[in-house]
Structure 1
Amino acid sequence: MIRLHLHLLSDSTGETLENIAKAGLAQFENVETIKHFWPMVRSVGHLDRIMLEIAQRPGLVIFTLVNNEVRRRLETRCHALGLPIVSALDPVIEALSRLLGQEAIARPGRQHSLDAAYFARVDAIQYTIAHDDGIAAEDWEEADIVLAGVSRSSKTPTSIYLANRGYKVANIPLVVESPPPQSLFTLVHPVVVGLTTSPERLIQIRRNRLLSLNQTPETAYVDQEAVARELAFARRMFSDQGWPVIDVTRRSIEETAAAIINLVNEKSGGAGGGV
């Protein structure tokens, strides 16, 4: 097991750096990463205090700093300490600058400005939370996406992930004994997507859920025949309505969401949705 100190310095919240670091680390195994977050670094004095901490825990330094004085100071100090240092956004900004024929605007935290897209994302999250698990069917036409599937088929976590991408999402559990509202079958604006999974995987997830709630793991909820009937009921509905279906058995939430976003873009003629 390799132990790595990772120092993330940003003149804003550090959210961009965190995502970049997470994506990079996912490509390596047997690494124990200790992340040190240093947000809102906008002065040399602040940086000097941070460098005292970094010197005690040397490791890789990744940064997004637009202030040239602070940036040069960081680079000089890291080189003096023999620390590897990476500017996370430089290659992207330089490529865009060449293609667009413009100089980048050096403004700290510009990518996180409270613009219309930010408020649209907040609105999407609020809508999605308010329309979880079949709630408020009268508002489903306002959704961008409606997810349908049996219990524990990843509807809620996928909905929340999509909401953070700026999509209004409603989701509804499909229950054999309780058909969904008829309004589900007459929606025009939203893309309705069916989520399905393998019976074995679904039973495992449901059994773990019951155990986490200190409930008996031997009920109709996890009975193999009952689960098979539920999934068959859902698949027939998806087929009858002509809804696209995504099998989440071997997909992560991110992969499922990406497939759904592609469906939304296809419906809108290739225009990107969300934020």
Structure 2
Amino acid sequence: MPKTARPHIHLVSDATGETLKSVAKAALVQFQKSQEEVETHTWALVRKPLQMERVVEAIAAMGGLVLFTIVDQELREILVKGCAKAKLPIVPVLDPVIMAFGKYLGEKAVNLPGRQHEMDAEYFHRIDAMHFTIAHDDGQHLEDLDKADIVLVGVSRTSKTPTSIYLANRGLKTANVPIVPGLIIPPEVEALKNPLVVGLTASPDRLVSIRRSRLISMNQNTETAYVDDDRVKEELMIARKLCAKHNWPIIDVTRRSIEETAAAILNLHNRREEQRKQQNLGFDGPKE
């Protein structure tokens, strides 16, 4: 590709294209110099030969790299032959994964367009989790907090709400409760037995910076206890002592993205669920 040309990436799907978008995004972040220049085109719900022919014409006119998740053989042939004629690189994103699964499971793939996006029980489970999480944001509706899968606690501006929403999108009912200076933690939180409770923390400098920016954006006074260095350190110490008292794991979000924080929480949740399964089966681990 000439250095003056704008790079194009084409995502061709017989469904919504969300799978391809996720793959492309995950790959592009590895190329710091190029990711902002790339122009991405999503060709979704391509399910008829005439549609595919038109898509191929448009792709050939622009050029670029083609990623696809088409499962219909006739449509694949139109796309592959069209790209070969235009001398464009093409990547069947799901093929290696489906082949590996088929070989391991000893079963042939169904090859139905958009099957991964069917509105099945898992979809409605995620919606239910999202409703629960929104209703239990910032310490609301404590009366049924024990129905949560995960409860996040932490002082102000430790990313509790966005992390909760991310986890809800993964199907986990996630509540979050703030730790506020001068106020005791609600007894409903300390009495929790079923949910995994995780404390979120951050460095004092980071918290002060975020809080100050928050106050500025709201045109409020920035010289308050809310952004006082010593007061923030005291808040964090109180939060750490509370988590230590109840043996709640703590995650420092200072240098983590929301996705990274959520991944760490998911690991804790999965490990806990596995331990529960083993206990239910009567396995308590190795004897000393």
What range describes the TM-score normalised by the shorter chain of this pair? over 0.9
Q: Which residue in the other structure is 1:124 paired with? A: 129
Note if 1:67 corresponds to 2:72: yes
Amino acid paired to 2:31: F
Amino acid paired to 1:6: I
Name the SS of the counterpart of 2:46 in structure 1.
Answer: coil
Which of 193, 202, 215 is residue 198 of structure 2 equivalent to?
Answer: 193
1:77-92 correspondence runs (5 A):
77-92=82-97
* Cα distance between partner residues in 1 of 2:207 and 2:43: 41
* Cα distance between partner residues in 1 of 2:183 and 2:30: 44
1:250-269 correspondence runs (5 A):
250-269=255-274
Query: How big is the shift at 1:127?
Result: 0.7
Amino acid paired to 1:217: T
Name the SS of the counterpart of 2:274 in structure 1.
Answer: coil
Note if 1:21 corresponds to 2:13: no
Name the SS of the counterpart of 1:268 in structure 2.
Answer: helix
Which of 32, 41, 50 is residue 46 of structure 2 equivalent to?
Answer: 41
Note if 1:4 corresponds to 2:7: yes
**Larger mean Cα displacement after TM superposition, 251-260 or 195-204:** 251-260
Query: How big is the shift at 1:216?
Result: 3.0
RMSD value, Cα? 1.5
What TM-score do the two structures reach when normalised by structure 2? 0.91
1:234-258 per-residue CA deviation (whole Å, 9 max, x = no partner) reads: 1111111111111111111111111
Query: How big is the shift at 1:51?
Result: 2.2
Name the SS of the counterpart of 1:96 in structure 2.
Answer: helix
Amino acid paired to 1:109: G
Q: Which residue in the other structure is 1:182 paired with? A: 187
Note if 1:206 corresponds to 2:214: no
Amino acid paired to 1:105: V
- Cα separation, partners in 2 of 1:121 and 1:221, compared to 1, 3 Å: same
1:59-92 per-residue CA deviation (whole Å, 9 max, x = no partner) reads: 1110000111111000000111111100010000
Note if 1:233 corresponds to 2:238: yes
Query: How big is the shift at 1:101?
Result: 1.5
**Larger mean Cα displacement after TM superposition, 183-192 or 260-269:** 260-269
Gaps of 5+ in 1: none
* Cα distance between partner residues in 2 of 1:176 and 1:216: 19
Q: Which residue in the other structure is 1:98 paired with? A: 103
Query: How big is the shift at 1:180?
Result: 2.2
* Cα distance between partner residues in 1 of 2:71 and 2:138: 44
* Cα distance between partner residues in 2 of 1:57 and 1:270: 53
**Cα contact 1:265–1:271 (8 A) shared by 2:** no
* Cα distance between partner residues in 1 of 2:276 and 2:81: 44
Q: Which residue in the other structure is 2:56 paired with? A: 51
Q: Which residue in the other structure is 2:226 paired with? A: 221
* Cα distance between partner residues in 1 of 2:141 and 2:100: 46
Query: How big is the shift at 1:54?
Result: 1.4
* Cα distance between partner residues in 1 of 2:228 and 2:117: 48
Amino acid paired to 2:81: T
Q: Which residue in the other structure is 1:145 paired with? A: 150
* Cα distance between partner residues in 2 of 1:214 and 1:240: 38
* Cα distance between partner residues in 2 of 1:10 and 1:218: 53
> Which stretches of structure 1, 4 residues or longer, exceed 4 Å deviation after superposition?
none
* Cα distance between partner residues in 2 of 1:30 and 1:250: 22
**Larger mean Cα displacement after TM superposition, 205-214 or 186-195:** 205-214
* Cα distance between partner residues in 2 of 1:153 and 1:68: 49
Query: How big is the shift at 1:56?
Result: 2.6
Identity of aligned residues (%): 54
